[in-house]
Structure 1
Amino acid sequence: MAEETQVQQEIQELPQELKDIKAVLYQARAQNILTKGIRQCLKVIEAKKALFCFIAEDCDNDKYTGLLTAICKEQGIKIVKVPEKIQLGEWTNQCKIRDGVAVNIAKCSCAVIGNNIKFTDELKRLKAKVDG
């Protein structure tokens, strides 16, 4: 019971922008238009089927982020920065859930959502933040 309260407090403590990113990633996963991993993300980006590319700020390979950034700019795809790889891994469901808590989280450096996602308030706020 105390763990559930702690998780709820952590969610409430997230800034609005991160809450929106998390909600958009969950929504994309539910609609089966979430892509993870550099090879798969590059395929979606080059096919011009991506709306946003999420890149972890703490990615330890500069070539990796440089390649993604360059191709996204070339294709006109907006880049959204996520503070940590572990957060992106959890939000893209690269973990196991035990008793409502994410465990064994695999780190994720990049993820892409498809451009045919249903627009919600969170997506509109995220799009306005990235465009502005």
Structure 2
Amino acid sequence: MSGEEGAVATETPLAALGETMDLMTALQLVLKKSLAHGGLARGLHEGAKVIEKHAAQLCVLAEDCDQPDYVKLVKGLCADHNVNLLTVPSAKTLGEWAGLCKIDSEGKARKVVGCSCVVVKDFGEETEGLHVVQQHIKSH
């Protein structure tokens, strides 16, 4: 019972702020919800399969990816299959958001594995973060 109350208390301050969240915070929230609902493909191989099946709704690529062929392939697949593409500055950050890390007892991420590409096939549930990301995609 007390574990459920703690989970509710951590989500309430974010909603109570009333401020519009920035794109990176919104994207982090969308990726976490998608991961929780099993709708996240992480890495080039999984991501390419989802895009090829026309099941992808959003693709996120790390800007610091040092393999130009990798970047060219992901951008080409997204363009061919009309998948929206967003970029984030760091592969480590994207890996943490995609759940490729261990969470210690203090709630901090440890042993984060970098991830250059993440594809969302199911957003999970409607959140404010999802609306922010969708508005950004429509405007760009």
Give SS of 1:63's match: helix
Give SS of 1:50's match: coil
Residue 102, structure 1, aligned to residue 109, structure 2: yes
Letter in 1 for 2:111: N
- Give the aligned partner of residue 6 of structure 1: none
CA distance in 1: counterparts of 2:132 and 2:123, whole angstroms: 17
The 8 Å contact of residues 39 and 124 in structure 2, kept in 1 or not, is answered as yes
The structure with the largest strand share of the pair is 1
Q: Which runs of 5+ in 2 are unaligned?
A: 1-20
Give SS of 1:65's match: helix
Q: How many residues align?
A: 118
CA distance in 2: counterparts of 1:117 and 1:66, whole angstroms: 28
Give SS of 2:100's match: coil
C-alpha displacement of 1:101: 0.9
Give SS of 1:32's match: coil
> What's the TM-score once normalised by structure 2's chain length?
0.80
Residue 23, structure 1, aligned to residue 29, structure 2: yes
Once superposed, what is the RMSD of the aligned Cα atoms? Answer: 1.2
C-alpha displacement of 1:121: 1.9
Q: 1:15-34 CA distances to partner (integer Å, 9 max, x unpaired)?
A: 71110010000000011101
Residue 67, structure 1, aligned to residue 67, structure 2: no
CA distance in 2: counterparts of 1:119 and 1:76, whole angstroms: 22
C-alpha displacement of 1:87: 0.3
Q: Which runs of 5+ in 1 are unaligned?
A: 1-14
Alignment of structure 1 residues 1-132 onto 2, 5 Å:
16-98=22-104, 99-115=106-122, 117-132=124-139
